[in-house]
Amino acid sequence: MHTDALIRLSRRSLWTAFILIALIGALGMVQLLAPAWHTAHHLRLLLPVFLAIGSVALRRVPNAGMQIVLDDELRQMALARAYRVALFAVLVLQPVLALGLTASGVANALALMAVATLLTGALAFIATVLYVDR
């Protein structure tokens, strides 16, 4: 494959991962915020469908050209910057969540904080890679 096609495939995979993580994270947040909400239960039944679509969309391309794209110096710099942005986003989110969830009196505050932290870190990382990388 040509390098431009591999870069487009890489970006498409990142966008797919971003959307898939956002959907699964939103589903987890809804399930924790409103456990008695029946729509959340029906949405949870779609989780295997989301995972199947994501696994097909995120398939690995066994190609030496893809390894060259992944080892690119600019891509490595984008990844390093994305690590820092995601860490900063998670560190800033912790006190906000701790104060907000203790003041609100949510039943599953610790689990909600864990899901929100994971969701924020993953989405901040992928969004930064998509923004900074070419």
pLDDT score, position 27: 82
Q: What is the pTM of this model?
A: 0.81
Residue 82: its pLDDT value, please? 93
Instruction: Classify residue 62 as left (phi > 0), alpha (psi -120 to 50) or beta.
Output: beta
Predicted pLDDT of residue 48: 79
- pLDDT score, position 9: 78
- Domain count for the chain, please give it: 1
> Which pLDDT belongs to residue 60?
65
- Residue 61's domain comprises 3-132
Look at residue 36 in the predicted model and tell me its pLDDT. 67
How many CB atoms within 10 Å of residue 115? 20
Q: Which sign does the torsion angle of CA 111, 114, 119, 122 carry?
A: negative
User: What tens-digit pLDDT sequence spans the chain (134 residues)?
Assistant: 577 777 787 788 888 889 888 988 888 888 888 766 666 667 677 777 777 877 776 666 666 666 776 677 888 898 899 999 999 999 999 999 999 988 888 888 888 999 999 999 999 999 999 998 76
* pLDDT at res. 94: 93
Which residue in 98, 97, 119, 94 sits closest to 28, CA to CA? 119
